[in-house]
Amino acid sequence: MTAAVRLRSRHLLGISDLDPSEIELILDTAVAMKEIGTRTIKKVPALRGRTVVNLFFEASTRTRLSFELAEKRLSADTMGITAAASSVIKGETLADTVRTLEAMSPDIIVLRHPSSGAPHLLSTFCHSGIVNAGDGMHEHPTQALLDALTIRERKGRLAGLKVAIVGDLMHSRVLRSNVLLLTKMGVEVRVCGPRTLMPLGLSALGVHVTYSLDEAVKDADVVMMLRLQHERMNGMFLPSLREYFTLFGLTRERLKHAAPDVIVMHPGPMNRGVEIDSVVADGPRSVILDQVANGVAVRMAVLYLLAGEDVTP
């Protein structure tokens, strides 16, 4: 693999567009960015004079705040708007909203949107670089990158690891981005969830599909739990949350079948007692807050690689 020195695209729309060397480049850059967060003055001038717009049309705590912090640590000028506080509620379209923002000459637009493909649509006419901060049920590339950084930090590598991803797979953009990234990097991925929440065609992506949590967790180096995405469900997918926890909830007992040094991950927000027991979420194998910390470093890396001073236009 030839080492990438820059990203080929001026957008980050999905993991599907990145090759393994670009993924390594982002992770290595994130390691350097993480060091900045340990300094007394947590700020560098890498994006001085650049303007970043955060456009969040869906609720977010981790992604939105970590993008904002990443931008501040890189000295970018930032603006942010949510759907509820914008003229979207007066009927303005996404395209018109973005054309309006582009008239103010931003360099990067970070977009979270409930429609799959919204960032791709913007990339067809925007002059700014577009960063996908989660689009519908499609992709959440910076989440997968921060997950990969967390795994690499803890395990020293990605290739050859066994990663189990468990939960509501049908509605999860985190699943999709993680499967794409981890399989590109040589990870053995098992996915597990109820049949009613299992999307078609997952096996074609090179993952092992199982409906048994014990099978998914057996000897796993990493167990990644995903939330039930009630906001994307139309109708009944499960008999009850109690039955879901019994069959698919991660407890200390079930985690005993994993590798002894297993790490437990969750992108958040968590539903304690639904997909994960609090004893596990807050336990010694959990790296959930490391994921949050690494979110800032990864987003600094992405913004720097897309809009940093030494990037050739």
Q: Which residues bind ligand CP (CB under 6 A)?
A: 60-64, 134, 143, 267-269
With CA atoms as reference, report the closest residue to 209 among 223, 227, 186, 191: 191
Taking the complex as a whole, the smallest distance from the CB of residue 91 to ligand CP amounts, in Å, to: 26
With CA atoms as reference, report the closest residue to 163 among 121, 219, 111, 204: 219
Concerning whether 63 is annotated as a catalytic residue, the answer is yes
Contacts of 282 (CB under 8 A, 6+ apart): none
* 3-class DSSP state of 306: helix
Q: What are phi and psi of 258, to 5 degrees?
A: -80, 175
* Candidates 29, 63, 78, 150; catalytic one: 63
Q: Which is nearer to ligand CP, 60 or 115 (CB)?
A: 60
Concerning whether 252 is annotated as a catalytic residue, the answer is no
Taking the complex as a whole, the smallest distance from the CB of residue 277 to ligand CP amounts, in Å, to: 20
Q: Which is nearer to ligand CP, 4 or 288 (CB)?
A: 288
Concerning whether 140 is annotated as a catalytic residue, the answer is yes
Q: Which is nearer to ligand CP, 10 or 140 (CB)?
A: 140
- Determine contact, residues 189/206, Cβ cutoff 8 Å: yes
Concerning whether 62 is annotated as a catalytic residue, the answer is yes
Taking the complex as a whole, the smallest distance from the CB of residue 291 to ligand CP amounts, in Å, to: 8
Q: Which is nearer to ligand CP, 230 or 242 (CB)?
A: 230
Contacts of 86 (CB under 8 A, 6+ apart): 92, 97
Question: Rounded to an integer, what is the distance from CA 181 to the centroid of its chain?
Answer: 11
Q: Please give the Cα distance from 201 to 213 (Å, whole number).
A: 20
Taking the complex as a whole, the smallest distance from the CB of residue 268 to ligand CP amounts, in Å, to: 5
- Determine contact, residues 241/274, Cβ cutoff 8 Å: yes
Taking the complex as a whole, the smallest distance from the CB of residue 60 to ligand CP amounts, in Å, to: 3
* Candidates 90, 93, 124, 195; catalytic one: 90
Q: Which is nearer to ligand CP, 88 or 270 (CB)?
A: 270
With CA atoms as reference, report the closest residue to 54 among 311, 305, 270, 299: 299
* Candidates 34, 113, 140, 254; catalytic one: 140
Concerning whether 90 is annotated as a catalytic residue, the answer is yes
Taking the complex as a whole, the smallest distance from the CB of residue 253 to ligand CP amounts, in Å, to: 27
Q: Please give the Cα distance from 278 to 9 (Å, whole number).
A: 41
* Candidates 64, 73, 112, 266; catalytic one: 112
Q: Which is nearer to ligand CP, 10 or 64 (CB)?
A: 64
Contacts of 160 (CB under 8 A, 6+ apart): 186, 187, 188
Q: Extract the tokens encoding 145.
A: 């990158």
- CB-closest chain residue to ligand CP: 63
Catalytic machinery residues: 62-63, 90, 112, 140
